[in-house]
Amino acid sequence: MLWRILVSTDDGFPRKLLKQSMKERIAYFDNYTMAHPNLLKAANELMETIEEPAGASIVFVLGPTGVGKSTLLRRVSQKIIEAYQPKLKEDKGCIPIAGTEAAAPEIGNFDWKDFYIRSLEALKDPFIEKRKHTPFIHQVNRINPRETKLKLRLLLEETLRQRKPAAFYVDEAQNLGKVISGRKLQEQTDCIKSLSNLTGVQFVLVGTYELLLLRNLSAQLCRRSSEIHFPRYQAEADEDKQVFRNVVHTFQKHLPLEEEPELLDIWDFCYERSIGCVGILKDWLVRTLAGVFKKQGRKAKLTHQDLEHHAWSLDQCAVMLREAREGEEKLKGSTTETDFRRALGLEIQAKQKKVKAETGKKAKKQVGKPLPQRRAVGEVEDAG
């Protein structure tokens, strides 16, 4: 595996970038993505699930904040669009894949009306597209009260049928769980499952480990859903540690600076302030690059002190690490195989079989000796 090689063979950024503006150089690095192992694994699993859903209405994609879930969605979307090119020539109205972000409610319960409108905009519904060109105040007046949630829901169902996307994704999907009443939690996922069943479109819910709240709310949901874990890199695992060092080295080579910084020498500091999440590391490096350009100009150099200045504080990193670890533990689950088999009755049957095997063996018959049998009352043995 190439990722086992510590020193990357990547040539880095195009040298002509050094002649371009600082803004263009920052944009280059901001848009640069890296196909690291955890991203590739999650992307391949998601592609396979979308292509062969096997009855799954909902796919849960879980991971810590900053692991790179948005990059994952972009990568998968690109692959699906490429695969749909022949179909698009025949069906101009088809949209290969679409999605939206689940907005957190300002107060109270998740706003389904807002979700329907955002989803219709993502699917380029003509009714919504037309409204986008009207003044905002008229938009509000037209949405309320005529366009009820039911009307928008039916419109979304019809649009999904017409657009025929391979999948519809919902980013930041943990916000679906923001409801006042615990009873409403199941209603949230039931609504998504119903949309999928009625339209034949698979829904991909992408979010943090908070999504675990919605994952196992009912037996029907468990049967009609699948799960993909997009983890961070763990320093305790030698292979993960080596991969992360290579990630740092690759980023180092793509920072569009005249003098390449020695990030690999401080890879452990990079790990410490990113908790092993490539997305957090990337955001941190973008902030640092912009900072050194602003302070030093076109010939800027990036040092350990610059990284430290733009890093998240230890307290902030501790919060991110705690949430990541708690999510990882919850993902493992609390049900053991022994407890589950006992609940099924399989452990009792196994014990019964074992007891029967040990005590229920028939005694070997001795030659010339009759087997024990009950005799009738008053019967006299023939001494003959």
The predicted pLDDT at position 215 comes to 84
Cis upstream peptide for 165 (omega within 30°): no
Tens digits of pLDDT across the chain (384 residues)? 333 333 344 789 999 999 999 999 999 999 999 999 999 999 999 999 999 877 778 999 999 999 999 999 999 999 999 999 999 999 989 999 999 999 999 888 899 999 999 999 999 987 666 655 554 434 444 445 456 889 999 999 999 999 999 999 999 999 999 887 666 788 888 899 999 999 999 999 999 999 998 888 777 778 888 999 999 999 999 999 999 999 999 999 999 999 999 999 999 999 999 999 999 999 999 999 999 999 999 999 999 999 999 999 999 999 999 999 999 999 988 788 888 888 888 877 666 676 666 665 554 555 565 656 655 555 545 444
For 61, the 3-state DSSP assignment is strand
Phi and psi angles of residue 214, each rounded to the nearest 5 degrees, phi first: -95, -10
Sheet holding 202-207, edge to edge: 97-101, 167-171, 202-207, 58-62, 225-229
The predicted pLDDT at position 147 comes to 61
Global pTM reads: 0.82
Give every CB contact of residue 298 below 8 A, 6+ residues apart in sequence.
Answer: 22
The predicted pLDDT at position 334 comes to 77
The predicted pLDDT at position 2 comes to 33
Report d(CA 40, CA 231) in Å as an integer: 12
For the segment 238-278, what is each residue's pLDDT rounded down to a tens digit?
999 999 999 999 999 999 999 999 999 999 999 999 999 99
Report d(CA 205, CA 78) in Å as an integer: 18
Report d(CA 248, CA 304) in Å as an integer: 13
Report d(CA 283, CA 9) in Å as an integer: 23
The predicted pLDDT at position 303 comes to 95
Report d(CA 306, CA 287) in Å as an integer: 10
In terms of Cβ atoms closer than 10 Å to its own Cβ (0-12, 13-18, 19+), residue 247 is buried
